[in-house]
Chains A and B, each alone.
Chain A
Amino acid sequence: AQSVTQLDSQVPVFEEAPVELRCNYSSSVSVYLFWYVQYPNQGLQLLLKYLSGSTLVKGINGFEAEFNKSQTSFHLRKPSVHISDTAEYFCAVRRGGSYIPTFGRGTSLIVHP
């Protein structure tokens, strides 16, 4: 079974600073990778996804992520965060041929003014 590790449960950062949220997954022949954001009392919103092709993926709200197959990582980055980016972020992986995504436990991004 797939597993996803989000290495930081909480990441505090000041507004306009860069941020990186880390995600590692257990190895598989082919995987699809996702990052979701969850604001308080809301469902999850897809930020970006990696299906194939270029290892650098750009998403919404200025976020991007890089797929690193050798390190089985898919870290999320943003060069300059806003207060409104404060939320819970989830990394998810789905093995090719399966409909079942496995989510990490989430990283709480806290942006301070």
Chain B
Amino acid sequence: DAGVTQSPTHLIKTRGQQVTLRCSPKSGHDTVSWYQQALGQGPQFIFQYYEEEERQRGNFPDRFSGHQFPNYSSELNVNALLLGDSALYLCASSWTGQDYEQYFGPGTRLTVT
């Protein structure tokens, strides 16, 4: 049983560009959450998707957007990249009946130059 997978593993972008990160949830899970983890910090909640809609959002600007597909996989899009967007982006999946039990993927390391 595959766990949560994320792609790509690493990414280097230039300031002002746009990026798309992808996440496939653990089998049986229907909810996907995205987090940003800056170096030396704890993860910060970006948003959560359930039934293809954004269910709740953290304190992130509209440059951060997402999507959930019918197969429960998800994308995180970031527009107009800033240097401060450099971070590890983590995806976590859960089943809505036990949404406190989140399983995390290995993350995508984004570097903005």
Chain A residues packing against B (C-beta within 8 Å): 4, 32, 34, 36, 41-46, 49, 51, 90, 92, 94, 98-106
Known: A43-B105, A104-B42. 19 other contacts (CB 8 A): A36-B104, A41-B106, A42-B106, A43-B4, A43-B107, A44-B90, A44-B92, A45-B104, A46-B101, A46-B103, A90-B43, A92-B42, A94-B100, A98-B56, A100-B56, A103-B42, A105-B40, A105-B41, A106-B42
Q: Which 10 A-B pairs have the closest CB atoms?
A: A103-B42, A43-B104, A44-B104, A99-B56, A43-B106, A100-B45, A103-B43, A43-B105, A90-B42, A99-B48
A100 touching B58, Cβ below 8 Å = yes
Determine whether the beta carbon of A51 is less than 8 Å from that of B100: yes
Note all chain A residues with C-beta closer than 8 A to B40.
105-106
Residues of B within 8 A of A103 (CB): 42-44
CA distance A70 to B23 in the complex (A): 40
B7 on the A face (CB < 8 A) = no
Does residue B111 face the partner (Cβ distance < 8 Å to A)?
Answer: no
**Contact call B44/A43, Cβ cutoff below 8 A:** no
Among A44, A49, A106, the one with the most B-chain Cβ atoms within 10 Å of its Cβ is: A44
Among A4, A46, A51, the residue within 8 A (CB) of B102 is A46
Closest to A44 in B: B104
Report A-chain residues with C-beta under 8 Å of the C-beta of B42: 4, 90, 92, 103-106
- Using Cβ atoms and an 8 Å threshold, which residues of chain A touch B43? 44, 90, 103
Q: Are A99 and B99 in contact (CB under 8 A)?
A: yes
Nearest-CB residue, chain A, relative to B55: A99
**CB <8 Å contact, B104 and A101:** no
Query: Please, which residues of chain A bring their CB within 8 A of the CB of B4?
Result: 43
